[in-house]
Structure 1
Amino acid sequence: MSTLLSRHVFKGSETSTPSQIGDRSTSDVVVRIRTEDGRDDRLYCHSQILIEKSKYFADRLSENWPTCQILDSRNCVDVYCQESEFDHHVSVLRLFYIIVDGLVDDLWHGVKNAIGILQVAVKLGCPQIITACVNYLEAVPWEESEEEEILKIIPRLGSQVEPILARLLPVNHSSIMAIFLSTIRFATSSPLPIMNDLKSSAQEQLEYMLTEDDDAPLLTADDEIKSEVKECVKRLYGRFNNLLEALLSEVELSSDGGKMQSFQRLLSDLSWACQILTKLEIMRELVCNWMDASDKIVKAVKQARPTTELIETKLRVVEVAAKILEAIGYGTVILPTAKRLHMVKVWLPFVRVAKPVIDSATTTGDDAPTLKMDSELWQSLESTFVSIILALPSVEQAEILTEWLENEHIQYPDLTEAFEKR
């Protein structure tokens, strides 16, 4: 223990000579720390400090205590404890000599030790040490094992140590709601590029808040949440549609590199939004909007000037289209036959031409994009097309399958399964 632990100045007393625990020349009290196993250690202390710092010692050394032991011509106070608590009792006595007004920061030697000291401080009625322990434990990080010990011990110590548990208390619904609403608004916004990493973190946090695993989700999706999410995605899609119209008005898409980058970012945001909307079971509006704009989206990409950047744009388009088509193909969103057929006729030709281009794209070179492809994307999209086709009337099925067999890109998507089930 630091030498600081052994010094204390009597303030307001007749002497300003520092007293030191274990200083027999100035000690007037012996504290005997005793265990059931027979351990019996003596610490030479000072009554003024003990009375000032501890209710237990103040009571034992008062005139109201019926008996008074004498040892070495000094008052003697016994303190009984378990062997595992012995060192913590010694630490508390030493802390009497340095803690003034609860101010101490670096003498706890870790969370586990502080918990032990705190238990003794509560037992002996030591308000300054309790305050110092609470301040320390409330402020420092905990390991998982330490948190378990805190949850087991602290609730038994009374209201004075409750601040320690504040970080473990459940957040009330209104607070979580406020966090969610602020986060969804930011996650669906278009901030400056320098804030893109922060926006990605916000999107990840929203997914976590709505995810059910071994624990319940942080937030239950009620009508207010669904309404706000739909409104935020509506604004997001509005910005996407406005940019799409602007790009279509240009002779060559990509003549403005900034617009192309903005287009890619909005596509990425829509892809993420599909995941949130699917969790909340409110995909319909986005599916319908994307369906209405499908011809324009394909046209905009086709008229673009070929660049390595365009390949990434195509991939982002495919990612969103795959999630929209999945919602249609597996009955999440129910659409009439004509609209389902239209989606197949628009997106089947697009993806079968886009796939070899994207697959063959190189990511070497300073100007080439780094494509992060989901390895299951194409397989999932293929299965979705099969599901949609099989749900169409047989005449439309036959037309699609005939066109597929005659197409040079017959390798993808492989519609054999749909063909076999006819």
Structure 2
Amino acid sequence: MPRVHNRTILTTQRLRIHQSRYTVHMLIKPLYPPITHGSSTAIFVSLSIPQPIGNTMIGGNGGTKKRHRVGSNSRLSSTAALIDSSRPEGTLTEVSHKPLPSSSSIRRSTSRHSIPPLASSVSNGFNDPTTADVILRLYLDQSSPFDSDDSETQLAVDSSSEFQIYLHSTVIRRSKYFSALLSDRWKKDSSEIDYYRFNLAVPSSAGSINNHVTVLQLLYSNEISSAIDTASTALELLPIALELLFEDCVTACVRYLEAVPWTEEEERVVLSLIPLLRDEESSELLARVSPPKSDLSEEMLHGLILTAIHNHPNMAFAKAFVAKLLRDFSSREAARRVLDKSFETSLNVVKESLEEYSSPDFRGDHNETEAIQRLNLHTAMTNGRHLLWLIERMIELRAADKAVKEWSEQASFTADLQRAFRDDAWRNIVPGLPSVILRCTCKLANAVAAGVILASRQVRMKLVKDWLPVLIVCKDNMTPMLTNHKSLYLELEETFLKIISTLPMSEAQELLQQCLSFSTRNVEDCPHLVSAFTTWFRRANRQLQGDHYQLS
């Protein structure tokens, strides 16, 4: 569902803020009637900002709701606040009928440790008691059950637990939160009030007071962006700016985050804050971390595979890198789909090239026809190597089931290969082509024989039936120049015989008869063939007697 944003909801008695996973209310009308003494009147409001926990805010009542912020004509959302009249020492300070205190710096009401260095007062500016008409008391909310147990954090909390800051109502109205508090609807008579006292509770976490003071200082600044120099700073200030509805600060933080890199932890915080932003504010952040469509990662992987096997100058390095990405990819099914798609593409190119080579068009010029034939062989060779790499990756990820089935249904392709390999033309053009094609077959057949790929009986039978003739043709046309292929042929022979042993005896009988070409001058040189026939005959001579099989 689209996010609904509410930054401006004013009622006569209540401001409400909807934070991600919490709801807290703040009564804005004075708890007591304005106290008048002579010509001085003060109004008191107690504010409480909940503690952020990840992407949640913990409020006074423990409830959780999503925070909404809206657009142009209604941009004020209440903050999480609750008038606390039961806090020890009085959350609402008694009114002083004397002039404002003359302290020239942020004052700490109670503390057991020294005050951390914060901003000093500026004449007619931030924290100037001589001209201020708002006294804001910042205190740490120690009641949260989520307070850290870390000793260093607790020390930092204890050393800056409460401060009193002098502000100017004309300035802090820049925050729509304070603007709502100071609006005329909460005053009995604006002419009767000389200054306000607000109590603002902040989370009990390290740096919380300092971060709130920084945001309050920025209300007095026209150069907000100059105070934000790291992503962590922006992420510390942004939640507070959102709470106080300080739009200029929100914009500055978001713009900084859009432009700089993030650590993994910072990215998690960004993701937790995005729901609190308006659509136009969060669009750039979302574009960085959220795919526009669900299959974007698959498109990326497929593009990387195509680049690695076709276009990259350092192909070996690129292939190694893509292989690692595939191994580490979070979704095995997505990797399987990408590899299946790439496998099918490369296989089709090899098949089309061999088909054109095996059935050439001789109607054109002889030299042109020969050039086309050479091109077809080179295309088949290049894409055959790509195919071999893809098969290796699929077997590595145990995702070659579809490839084995596809490879077993290539009667037309294997017929083209037999015609091509019976011709001598390929020997001087692509002498390694038979080796590449048979290595693809050997990889898949080995995976089937070893149980890495659990192929059906029909697939096992067709795999041997279609590719056994290709192996036989390659062996029959082997020349001394290609004797290095002998070990490959022998490995594929043994693998085919293993697969044949898994088939019903009638199918095994038909295929074993074609394997006589595996025999050699010395019978001792083909033990795999001897073993295969011995096994078949042992099974053939076994008769059923009663409930047991036995040799006759």
Aligned twin of 2:306? 187
Cα pair 2:225 2:252 within 8 Å, conserved:
yes
- How many Å separate the matches in 2 of 1:356 and 1:134? 67
The farther-off stretch of 22-31 and 401-410 is 401-410
**What aligned pairs does 1:2-151 form with structure 2 within 5 A after superposition?**
22-27=120-125, 28-29=131-132, 30-37=135-142, 39-52=161-174, 54-66=175-187, 76-84=197-205, 85-98=208-221, 104=225, 107-111=228-232, 113-151=233-271
Aligned twin of 1:372? none
Larger Rg computed on CA atoms: 2
Aligned twin of 2:293? 172
SS at 1:24's partner residue? coil
Count of residues paired in the alignment? 362
% same residue: 18
- How many Å separate the matches in 1 of 2:334 and 2:463? 37
Cα pair 2:354 2:380 within 8 Å, conserved:
yes
Change (3 A) 1:125 1:325: same
Amino acid at match of 2:240: V
Q: Which has the higher contact order (CA 8 A, sep 6+)?
A: 2
**What aligned pairs does 1:6-405 form with structure 2 within 5 A after superposition?**
22-27=120-125, 28-29=131-132, 30-37=135-142, 39-52=161-174, 54-66=175-187, 76-84=197-205, 85-98=208-221, 104=225, 107-111=228-232, 113-151=233-271, 153-154=272-273, 157=276, 159=278, 162-163=282-283, 164-169=285-290, 171-172=292-293, 176=296, 179=299, 183=303, 187=306, 208=326, 215=331, 217-218=333-334, 233-235=347-349, 237-239=351-353, 241-242=355-356, 262-272=379-389, 278=400, 280=402, 283=406, 287-299=410-422, 304-305=427-428, 315-323=435-443, 325=445, 330-331=455-456, 332=459, 335=462, 339=466, 341-346=468-473, 357=484, 381=492, 384-390=495-501, 391=503, 392-394=507-509, 397=512, 400=515, 403-405=518-520
Change (3 A) 1:243 1:335: same
Aligned twin of 1:369? none
Give deviations 1:359-381, integer Å, cap 9, x for gaps.
99xxxxxxxxxxxxxxxx99984
Amino acid at match of 1:291: T
Give deviations 1:153-185, integer Å, cap 9, x for gaps.
326635456434444445435x6499489949x
- Deviation of the 1:136 alpha carbon: 3.4
| Unpaired segments ≥5 residues, structure 1 | 1-20, 361-376
Greater strand fraction, Structure 1 or Structure 2: 2
Give deviations 1:374-406, integer Å, cap 9, x for gaps.
xxx999846632234434543752663684353
Cα pair 1:353 1:409 within 8 Å, conserved:
no
User: CA RMSD, aligned part only?
Assistant: 5.7
- How many Å separate the matches in 1 of 2:491 and 2:265? 42
Give deviations 1:91-134, integer Å, cap 9, x for gaps.
3234434566xx838824234x4333221111111112222333
- Deviation of the 1:58 alpha carbon: 1.9
SS at 1:406's partner residue? coil
